[in-house]
Structure 1
Amino acid sequence: MFSLVAVSAELAEQLVAVESGGEDAVHQARTRVRRLRSILGVYKRAFDVEQNDRMRARLKALGDRLGEVRDLEVRAAALEDLLEVDDAPETIEAVEALAAEHRSAHASALASLVRHLDTRGHRRLLADLQFYAAEPPLRGRGRKHPRRIIRRGLRSATKRVLADGDDSLEALHATRKAARRLRYAAEAVADDLGRKAVRLAAEAEAIHDALGDHRDATLLARLLRENGLPGPAVRAEHAAAAALEPLDALLDALRD
């Protein structure tokens, strides 16, 4: 139900890849954790409250570990990609030093993550998750009226994306997370709802990507200014502004 078995199996596979140094494995594992948390959150009315909350909390802890590693990797790559051939030598040197710091921090965080994946607690989580996915603790309404729960869940998730908010970075980040949650929840029921769910997922993904690009560029610009690098910071700020340009149209499409 809700693709839990498939996504949990993919997560286990990607975590093994993390331990063996697989390319992009941390990113893929983090994505699977987010998918599972989105499904359990949007369709929470289908599940036993206590067991569902406990599993979501355990997945969040794993997701936080994966996120720490992934964010450092992304920031290092963004710093390296920001340089241009006509940058002053001192600017290139400073940006490369920042990137190296993030690469070093990434390596340290990755090593810590790999050690965690070899613990008894982590193995217990994977075993419990496999059982949870195969035999989800459904409530009566989850067994009797799954389509009703799906529709209500998606309506509520859509309203969270469209909720009025200010233009602060944190408010936009909340909208981004809501869009991601909606996307994964819609994709999980595409076989049941067909093209409507596919379209909903695509619209939510576009909103999430635009806001993600904006946030990454904004935070990068702050880092650069804090380190006395206004030139590269301006380029990051321009990228942040450009990322927001299609947002209103994307939200209107979802609203329609």
Structure 2
Amino acid sequence: MTSPSLRHVLDEMSAHVQAVRAHEPGARSGRDPEDLHQMRVAVRQLRAILRASRALFDAQVVERLRSELDWLGAKLGLVRDLDVLHAYLHPRLAALAGAEHRAGQRVLRRLGGDRARARAGLNEALDGPRYPRILEQLETFLARPPASASDVSLPDVAATEWKRLRKAVQKLPGRPSADELHAVRIKVKRARYAAELARAAAGARGKRFIHQAKKLQDILGDLQDAVVIEQYLHDAIDRTEPAQAVQKHLVKRQRKRRKKARAAFFEEWPKLKRRGREAWIA
């Protein structure tokens, strides 16, 4: 007999597998970057669900499937990062004038080439044998779940992920690095996804926790975007004087974004801490 927890996990996974299939054509074509984004989100959700509910299933099967989803997520993530770069840089570089405009156009041409190569690599991966095998493995997993003898309480899983996040933030130094805050963002996502699995049992308190976790995740995502953009500019900008002026201006903007996001994180964290206590400890 299938336990309620197992049935709920399988239903959630099924919805995300359907999302992967639905957004695949758009992810391939690149006409709307949102398709690739949603396909990547679905893959990420599948990985997170398998991680959170791993006690319900055969450990080796789960780890093999998560490893395959890691591979697919990396292929999608490379294109997504470049899409985000393009969405941010294109309007700002296109608006420049004179020699700075020409320098900006050189950056955009390089970015266009990088995006084209990344998408070609993604499509090559989707056309190869590994991706169809992943879909087949997921469908088999859903149809004949490799259930273990264990059962788990999904609210307990959410509480565990919340405690891991709280401990990670407690260990942060007074002035955490971008890498340290990025690691916290990963734990925020894990806590949020586990909470979403348990939302039916957690009620309104769980819903408030999920809302605040999403807000904090977005703040830390903005900080990480600024880091990635600054690094790309450092690599892509040539040494000419107009190009260096463009780089200086845009890097200054990214550092302001990072400063703003860092301040917002420390402002919003106590709110998530309170929501976590209400949802998972009270």
CA contact (8 A) 1:158 1:182 kept: yes
1:57, CA displacement in angstroms?
Answer: 0.5
Q: Does 1:154 align with 2:158?
A: yes
Aligned runs of 1:77-226 on 2, under 5 Å? 77-83=87-93, 89-142=98-151, 146=152, 148=153, 150-162=154-166, 163=168, 164-166=171-173, 167-225=176-234
Counterpart selection for 2:75 from 57, 65, 82: 65
SS at match of 2:150: helix
Change (3 A) 1:49 1:214: same
Q: Deviations over 1:220-248 (max 9, x none)?
A: 23443553321221112112211222212
Q: Which runs of 5+ in 2 are unaligned?
A: 1-7, 238-243, 275-282
The answer to whether the 8 A contact 2:13-2:46 is kept is yes
Within the alignment, does 1:45 sit opposite 2:55 as a pair?
yes
Q: Partners in 2 of 1:22 and 1:231 — Cα distance? A: 30
Residue 241 of structure 1: aligned partner: 259
Map of 2:25 onto structure 1: 16
The 3 A distance-change label for structure 1 pair 43 and 250 is farther
In 2, the alpha carbon distance for the partners of 1:191 and 1:96 equals 50
Over the residues paired in the alignment, what is the CA RMSD in angstroms? Answer: 2.0
Superposition deviation, residue 186 in structure 1: 1.8
**258, 269, 273: which is aligned to 1:251?**
269
C-alpha displacement at 1:203, in angstroms? Answer: 1.6
Deviation at 1:69, TM superposition (A): 0.8
Aligned residues: 250
Distance in 1, matches of 2:16 and 2:66, equals 14
Letter paired with 1:80: H
Shift of 1:123: 0.8
2:80 is paired with a residue of what secondary structure? helix
Task: Give me the whole-angstrom Cα distance separating, in 2, the residues matched to 1:195 and 1:40.
Answer: 25
CA distance in 1, matches of 2:208, 2:133: 37
**Deviation readout 1:71-112 (Å, 9 max, x if unpaired):** 111112222243485x56333322332122112111111122
Specify the SS of the correspondent of 1:181: helix
CA distance in 1, matches of 2:67, 2:123: 20
Contact 2:161/2:190, CA 8 A, preserved across alignment = yes
Larger radius of gyration: 2
Once the two structures are superposed, residues 11-69 of structure 1 have per-residue CA deviations (whole angstroms, 9 ceiling, x without a partner) of: 12212332354522211111001111111112222221111111111000000000011
